[in-house]
Amino acid sequence: MIVIAAAALTVLLSWAVQQPKEPQDVWKPFQFFVGQWEGTGEGKPGVSRGKQEFSFVLGGQYMQVRNESRFDPQEKNPKGERHEDWGFFSYDRLRKAYVFRQFHVEGFVNQYVCTGPAGDGKTFVFLSEAIENMPPGFKARLTYRILDDNSFEQTFDLALAGQDMECYAKGVMTRKGGTRPAARERKKSVRISPNYEIHLALEMASPFVPDGRQGLAEISFKVLFPSVTFEFDPEDDPLLGRCQVNSDKGRGSFSKLVLNDVQKGEERLQPRFLSARPREFSAGLAIESEPMAEDEAAARSGTPPDKVRLSFWTEWEATPIRWGSEFGSANLPDFKVVFEVPFRDLLQGKPLATTFPHDGRYPEDKGIWKIEARPAPKKK
């Protein structure tokens, strides 16, 4: 079997060498998408806010995209929804086409094909050629349309067997750190706050409980967002978000990360970390929600809302924090917290300081969040 496999590999390598090499710019049409994006959308699942990251992997042979979307609560789904999918773009030399394989957290796997950008060089239409874990006959279409240097529109269409395509969801993504199209087109109408520093801190402690849990005794960290502005566009659609936060990634650092003992029966063990404990990590900050279009007063009003909800989340997935003992192992999931801020005051440059309890995994977890927005020092 080894000889057969080696012979087959030799044939494949020989065939690959004989093939004409693709131009080095085979991925040039997709270079625009590389980077981090955030945006808003709407559709049948409701109003959403999300983030995406495109990057080339495995020596530049493939482009990877990671997507996360959070849907606001609605009548049909009062708790809201969090969606996640990962995908890989590849180039099929035989078909001279781009293939996109998209893996959804719900268990669906979509495979699309696209021959390249349309004549305008800005529109990419991916048509499904296979969908796993869906009834036969389902079809999907994913369209990316570049709007300008820092934004693109994406549309996801679905069709039941024998029916026409219908829009399922649509949204606009803006490059992280870029300016929304509305702000460039309507500079006079957009209000932007002075520059802020945003400081966030968490202090949490949890006692030892002899129930076999792999838990933390203490955790303490601080995060700094060194340059943050708040933006309001009265002419934008409230469903798509008139309020925005413009911020780069936050920089976080741990001051405490202590493990509790683990006990089962009469035996009590001291766990140990199974991965290197990161000293630093990155974090994100975004608008979670604002007054919706259903609120007629908010939809008609040209004034900023008094309050909005912000979301903060950690990002230590690249260096997972794991620990364990003979009784098992555990890992530290990313934190996410949603809190309310006086948006109108922030637009005016007023400082903010607030605290609120931490909602831990266990009832015994006791902690507090501290959040402070300070006017950023003026550059000399």
Q: What is the pLDDT of residue 295?
A: 54
- Residue-wise pLDDT for 56-71, tens only, equals 888 888 999 999 888 7
How many distinct helices (H) and strands (E) make up the chain? 4, 25
Task: Give residue 120's pLDDT band: very low, low, confident or very high (50, 70, 90).
Answer: confident
Assigned token pair, 158: 């679905």
Kindly report, as residue ranges, where domains of CATH 2.40.128.20 are found in the chain: 26-175
Q: Which residues contact 321 (CB under 8 A, 6 or more apart)?
A: 257, 273, 275, 277, 278, 331, 332
What are the pLDDT digits (tens) for 129-139? Answer: 888 888 888 88
CB 372 within 8 A of CB 199: yes
* pLDDT top residue among 63 and 300: 63
**pLDDT at residue 380 tops 70:** no
Mean of all residue pLDDT scores within the chain: 82
SS3 (DSSP) at 31: helix
With CA atoms as reference, report the closest residue to 50 among 15, 80, 89.
80
Q: Which two tokens stand for residue 256?
A: 């405490």
Q: What pLDDT is recorded for position 186?
A: 43
State the average pLDDT over residues 72-93.
Answer: 81
Summarize pLDDT for 138-191 with one digit per residue, the tens: 888 999 988 888 889 999 988 888 788 888 888 889 887 665 554 444 446 788
Spatial CA neighbour of 169 closest among 45, 58, 257: 45
- What pLDDT score was predicted for residue 258? 94
Tens of pLDDT, residues 301-318 = 678 888 888 988 887 755
d(CA 22, CA 238): 46
Say whether pLDDT at 284 is over 90.
no
Kindly state the percentage of the chain with pLDDT values over 90.
32
> Which tokens belong to 24?
């080095």
- Cβ density class 53-71: b for 16+ within 10 Å, e for less: bbeeeeeeebbebebbbbb
SS3 9: helix
Determine the Cα–Cα distance for residues 354 and 202; give it in Å rounded to an integer: 12
Instruction: HSE, CB side, 13 Å, CA atoms: give it for residue 233.
Output: 19
Residue 21 pLDDT grade (very low, low, confident, very high; cuts 50, 70, 90): very low
* Look-up of token digits 């998408």: 33
Judge contact between 109 and 103, C-beta under 8 A. Answer: yes
Highest mean pLDDT among 4-18, 34-48, 55-69, 195-209: 195-209
Contact 236, 242 (CB under 8 A): yes
pLDDT bin (cut points 50, 70, 90) of residue 16 is very low
Stronger pLDDT, 74 or 225, i.e. the higher one: 225
| Amino acid letter, 227 | S
Q: What CATH number does domain 26-175 carry, 2.40.128.20, 1.10.10.10, 3.65.10.10, 3.30.70.580?
A: 2.40.128.20
Helix, strand, or coil here: 158? strand
